[in-house]
Amino acid sequence: MEELIKCTKCLELKPKMDFTRRLNRKSGHRSSCRVCSNIVSNNYKKSKEGLIRRILIQQIRSSKQRAHNPPNYSLDEFRDWFYSQDNFEKLYLDWVASEYNKNLVPSVDRIDDLKPYSFENIRLITWAENVKKSHLDKVNGVTGRDMKTVYQYDKDLIFITSYHSTSYAAKQIGVSQTNISKRCLKYPKMSCGFYWTYNRLH
């Protein structure tokens, strides 16, 4: 006969398979069943503390993917920042009232997407607003996974400026991105009256 374990949350006797294994426990399993553990976990994620912790973890992960420095604040400092924002309480209550609609979840946006997370470069908005801004930034060439710095030179190969992507350079000059990207090789090529390259010459 299969051994039963009593869940400390719902107080029901359930088979071992309904409990997550925990080798550091005498029983070898968690004291609460999977169903109760999931309820506790989901409730924590929807709490203010859980939301703040989850956002910071996402920021650390995103910074690593973008090769940025990690956020320059601790969890305690980040929590203090959250509670100091005038719109946090309203955003949170609106999210709860919507029955946790993803579009209304409080979200932290980097004001300048090219810079890492810092208190000077973040603001609190909804997830939907953040997604909309991110989409506009990609359309305008302000951000994107395929970004690569491009350097612009005049006809005498005198450096003019640099852009963080060919799409952003194209928008600033007022030409097609293809006109620039096809000429950004190891050695500079001319397009639209300028020389372009991915490697700075001097």
Look at 101 and 143; give whichever has higher pLDDT: 101
pLDDT tens per residue across span 130-184: 988 877 776 665 555 556 778 888 888 889 888 877 777 887 887 777 777 765 6
Look at 129 and 115; give whichever has higher pLDDT: 129
**In angstroms, rounded to a whole number, what is the distance separating the alpha carbons of residues 170 and 140?**
10
Three-state DSSP at 54 gives: helix
Is the pLDDT assigned to residue 117 strictly greater than 60? yes
Is the pLDDT assigned to residue 95 strictly greater than 80? yes
Pick from 171, 140, 161: nearest CA to 180: 171
pLDDT tens per residue across span 6-27: 999 999 999 988 998 887 777 7
Q: How many CA atoms lie within 13 A of 30 on its CB side?
A: 13
Would you state the pLDDT for residue 171? 78
Contact of 134 with 143, CB cutoff 8 Å: yes
**In angstroms, rounded to a whole number, what is the distance separating the alpha carbons of residues 52 and 55?**
5
Predicted structure pTM score: 0.65
